Structure 1
Amino acid sequence: MRIAYLHGGSIPSLWANNVHVMRMCDAFAAAGHDIALYALPGTHPTADDPYAYYGVRHRFPIRFVPVPDYTPAGYRQRAERVADLLVRDGVPDLIYGRDPYSLAAAADLAPFVYEVHQIREDLSPPETEHRLLAAPRLARLVVITRALARDLDAHYADLAPLPILVAPDCADPPQPAAERVELPGRAGVPRVGYVGHLYDGRGIDLILDLAARLPGLDFHLVGGTPEDRDRWEQPCGLPHVYFHGHRPPAELPGYYPRFDVVLAPYAEQVYLTGRLGETGRWASPMKVFEYMSYGRAMIASDLPVLREVLTDRVNCLLRPAGDPRAWAKAIVELISDVRLRRDLGDEARRQVLDRYTWRRRVDEVLVGLGLDVPDVVGSPGAT
């Protein structure tokens, strides 16, 4: 099937939403579909090859469509250009995307799937998303959590029932590292790891609190823009805390296996870069699934949305986000109990391979659309 993926972000860049898009396009290609990505030109200062940067296996075509200016009017102008390109390139069998402006401009060309990770209140005009969800050729609305599905149904009650499918974020099966990552720190000292951005709500303050309580362990934080890294690293002052900064997604397989325990200390309110949006109520963090894929023993915040995937003492330990003493005790328990670490990690890996791979996800989001897509027996997640 010919699929066009419409994205309003830059490829490559530092931002996690673009990792999600590239993983989905890679999985569409792995499933045998003819996928083309329409995205903004990259903003990463040094990454010349987006396929190598993201570590994807397929070199699907990427059509770079710039925006004349970063305003709603500019994005709408770009959306018309994307729609024109779809016609010029040959209208696909299915349009898929996370860019409401481009999807709205192309909504009459072919059946389309809209994937959304938050309720969009930043669009102009404000009714953009409402009109998109009311479009006759909307085939499916894909969301990442049941919490978001419920809130969208309530928010757009006049359009109910929406054709919603819940498809959590995912991970690829463990990939071999291109080269061994040598971490700084003390020989023989257990390592506690965190991989992800350093935005507000990501629990970086909790991690530094834990490091102060547990000086016998080394703490490694992988990720973050230079500005965010400086914000946390400069006042830290703890010699056993190491900030590694942003690493290309393709390099992360070299880090996960080096950690004895990994942390997902999300607060109840999780903000996007620059506090441009708060998504904690609906989050399905990709890093959680990547931790699981590599069989790492994880401690995560005990939040309702994370309980959609995580179960205490089954695939992780769950602890209250605001209780550093409980987190410290959990770390000590995992470090001292090798069997518990192994059992949690093994079950987490099994669940990812059974339920939460990108390849499985693309089958789930396409099944039942009447577009010559084979049924996926037992696919979970539909509402």
Structure 2
Amino acid sequence: MRIAYLHGGNILSHFANGVHVMRMCDAFTDAGHDVTLYSRSGTYANEDPYEHYGVRHRFPIRLVPAPEDTPVGYLERGRIIRGLLTADGVPDLIYGRDFYSLAATADLAPFVLELHNLRTPAPNRTETVLLGHPALARVVVVTHALARDLQDAHQSLGTLPIRVAPDGADPAPPAATADTPALPGRPDAPRIGYVGHLYDGRGIDLILDLAGRLSPYDFHLVGGTAEDRTRWESACVHPNVHFHGHQRPSDLAGWFPLFDVVLAPYQREVYTWHRDEETGRWASPMKLFEYMAHGRAIVASDLPVLREVLTDHVNCLLRPPGDPQAWADALTELVTDRALRTALGDEARRQFLEHYTWRRRADLVLADLDLPTTHATR
């Protein structure tokens, strides 16, 4: 199948949506589809995007000029992408997370709309138009919580063609092929890891609290913009905390095996960059699946949306996000009980390989897709 993937963000960028999009295009290609990615150009134009994101296939990437994020700019971007699609040859399927480009091209071919959150308090008008469009083939959402809220928000449209597909990760590479960084800290101290952004709601304050309670352990935080890293480092008074900053997605595989335990301390409200969206109710964190792929013992926040994937004392330990002592006790339990660490990590890896690889996700979102045989422009 010829698929055009429309991405409203940038390639390259520091943001997780770029990782998600590149890995999905890679998985579609691996499944035998002919994929072209249409994306705004990023701030690292001189770096090879395939190497930066660590994807296996070199599918075509068409970089689109990035007009301002205004209604006029959105319309202009949609017009440009429509012109590229028609010039390149109309695909069999259009897939994307970019409302405005999808709206500009929806009459060209059947399309799949992927959503990771809702525009609240009122549904986005363009979202409503797309969900009611006759060429809509499927709506892909990352959690069952989002599926329920999306259907409730659009009851007037009837039953939506929703498929729930959690985020994913790639299987861990053989240890010998991953570049292993040298970590600072005490050589004999247990290593507690966190990988991800440092935005509000990600539980960074909880990690710093834990570092104060558990001084024999070293805490390593991998990720975050320079601005966020500076903000948290300046607030940190504990010598057993080490900030490592943003790493290329292709380089992360060497970090996970270094940690004895990894943390997913999401709070009840989780914000994106500049606090412009709150997504905690519907989150499906990619780093959680990367932890699982590497067989790490996980301590995670006991939140309804994370329980869609995690089960306490089966593939992780779950603790209330507002109870630092419960987290400290869980970390102590895992550090001192190697058999428990191994059992939780092994089961997490097994479940990941069965359910949460990018390739499985690519197959899931396209399975049994009922595509129209004719389109308005053909």
- What range is the shorter-chain TM-score in? over 0.9
Query: Who is 2:203 aligned against?
Result: 203
Once residues 352 and 214 of structure 2 are traced to their aligned partners in structure 1, the CA distance between those partners, rounded to angstroms, is 30
State whether residues 211 and 217 of structure 1, in contact with CA within 8 Å, keep that contact through their aligned partners in structure 2.
yes
How far residue 121 of structure 1 moved from its aligned partner, in angstroms, is 4.5
Please state if 1:108 is matched with 2:107. yes
Query: Who is 2:75 aligned against?
Result: 76
What do the CA deviations read for 1:234-270 (whole angstroms, capped 9, x no partner)?
1212111000000000010010000000000000000
Please state if 1:151 is matched with 2:149. yes
Please state if 1:287 is matched with 2:287. yes
Query: Who is 1:120 aligned against?
Result: 119
Once residues 9 and 183 of structure 2 are traced to their aligned partners in structure 1, the CA distance between those partners, rounded to angstroms, is 32
How far residue 122 of structure 1 moved from its aligned partner, in angstroms, is 9.7
Please state if 1:277 is matched with 2:277. yes
State whether residues 67 and 75 of structure 1, in contact with CA within 8 Å, keep that contact through their aligned partners in structure 2.
no
State whether residues 301 and 319 of structure 1, in contact with CA within 8 Å, keep that contact through their aligned partners in structure 2.
yes
State whether residues 281 and 305 of structure 1, in contact with CA within 8 Å, keep that contact through their aligned partners in structure 2.
yes
Once residues 124 and 52 of structure 2 are traced to their aligned partners in structure 1, the CA distance between those partners, rounded to angstroms, is 35
Alignment of 1:166-245 (within 5 A): 166-176=164-174, 177-245=177-245
Alignment of 1:21-60 (within 5 A): 21-44=21-44, 48-60=47-59
- Distance change >3 Å, CA 340–CA 295, structure 1 → 2: same
Alignment of 1:350-369 (within 5 A): 350-369=350-369
Query: Who is 1:375 aligned against?
Result: none
Matched residue count: 370
Once residues 194 and 67 of structure 1 are traced to their aligned partners in structure 2, the CA distance between those partners, rounded to angstroms, is 33
How far residue 75 of structure 1 moved from its aligned partner, in angstroms, is 1.5
Query: Who is 1:99 aligned against?
Result: 98
How far residue 69 of structure 1 moved from its aligned partner, in angstroms, is 1.5
Once residues 7 and 142 of structure 2 are traced to their aligned partners in structure 1, the CA distance between those partners, rounded to angstroms, is 17
Sequence identity (%): 66
What do the CA deviations read for 1:250-300 (whole angstroms, capped 9, x no partner)?
010010000000000000000000000000000000000000000000000
Question: Structure 2: which amino acid aligns with 1:106?
Answer: T
- Distance change >3 Å, CA 73–CA 121, structure 1 → 2: farther
State whether residues 25 and 35 of structure 1, in contact with CA within 8 Å, keep that contact through their aligned partners in structure 2.
yes
Once residues 287 and 68 of structure 1 are traced to their aligned partners in structure 2, the CA distance between those partners, rounded to angstroms, is 31
Please state if 1:88 is matched with 2:87. yes
Choose 156-165 or 65-74, whichever is displaced more: 65-74
* Structure 1 residue corresponding to 2:162, chosen from 145, 161, 164: 164
Once residues 331 and 242 of structure 2 are traced to their aligned partners in structure 1, the CA distance between those partners, rounded to angstroms, is 18
| SS in structure 2 of the partner of residue 9 of structure 1 | strand
Once residues 161 and 97 of structure 1 are traced to their aligned partners in structure 2, the CA distance between those partners, rounded to angstroms, is 21
Please state if 1:142 is matched with 2:140. yes
Once residues 162 and 89 of structure 1 are traced to their aligned partners in structure 2, the CA distance between those partners, rounded to angstroms, is 31
Unaligned runs of 5+ in 1: 373-383
4+ long deviations beyond 4 Å: none
State whether residues 14 and 44 of structure 1, in contact with CA within 8 Å, keep that contact through their aligned partners in structure 2.
no
| SS in structure 2 of the partner of residue 321 of structure 1 | coil
What do the CA deviations read for 1:113-136 (whole angstroms, capped 9, x no partner)?
00000113599x941110011110
| SS in structure 2 of the partner of residue 23 of structure 1 | helix
How far residue 371 of structure 1 moved from its aligned partner, in angstroms, is 5.1
Query: Who is 2:128 aligned against?
Result: 130
What do the CA deviations read for 1:312-352 (whole angstroms, capped 9, x no partner)?
00000000000000000000000000000000000000000
How far residue 369 of structure 1 moved from its aligned partner, in angstroms, is 1.1
Once residues 257 and 26 of structure 1 are traced to their aligned partners in structure 2, the CA distance between those partners, rounded to angstroms, is 24
What do the CA deviations read for 1:149-190 (whole angstroms, capped 9, x no partner)?
000000001012000000000111102454221111111111
| SS in structure 2 of the partner of residue 29 of structure 1 | helix
Question: Structure 2: which amino acid aligns with 1:11?
Answer: I
| SS in structure 2 of the partner of residue 234 of structure 1 | helix
Query: Who is 1:303 aligned against?
Result: 303
Once residues 9 and 175 of structure 1 are traced to their aligned partners in structure 2, the CA distance between those partners, rounded to angstroms, is 28
Once residues 322 and 157 of structure 1 are traced to their aligned partners in structure 2, the CA distance between those partners, rounded to angstroms, is 35
Once residues 160 and 117 of structure 1 are traced to their aligned partners in structure 2, the CA distance between those partners, rounded to angstroms, is 21
Unaligned runs of 5+ in 2: 373-378
Question: Structure 1: which amino acid aligns with 2:192?
Answer: V
Question: Structure 2: which amino acid aligns with 1:203?
Answer: G
- Distance change >3 Å, CA 126–CA 263, structure 1 → 2: closer
How far residue 7 of structure 1 moved from its aligned partner, in angstroms, is 0.4
Once residues 55 and 187 of structure 1 are traced to their aligned partners in structure 2, the CA distance between those partners, rounded to angstroms, is 30
How far residue 370 of structure 1 moved from its aligned partner, in angstroms, is 3.4
Question: Structure 1: which amino acid aligns with 2:57?
Answer: H
Question: Structure 2: which amino acid aligns with 1:37?
Answer: L
- TM-score w.r.t. the length of structure 1 is 0.94
Query: Who is 2:318 aligned against?
Result: 318
Once residues 109 and 357 of structure 1 are traced to their aligned partners in structure 2, the CA distance between those partners, rounded to angstroms, is 31
Please state if 1:16 is matched with 2:8. no
Query: Who is 1:332 aligned against?
Result: 332
Question: Structure 1: which amino acid aligns with 2:275?
Answer: R
State whether residues 137 and 370 of structure 2, in contact with CA within 8 Å, keep that contact through their aligned partners in structure 1.
no
State whether residues 67 and 77 of structure 1, in contact with CA within 8 Å, keep that contact through their aligned partners in structure 2.
no
Query: Who is 2:66 aligned against?
Result: 67
What do the CA deviations read for 1:208-249 (whole angstroms, capped 9, x no partner)?
000000000000000000000000001212111000000000
Question: Structure 2: which amino acid aligns with 1:98?
Answer: R
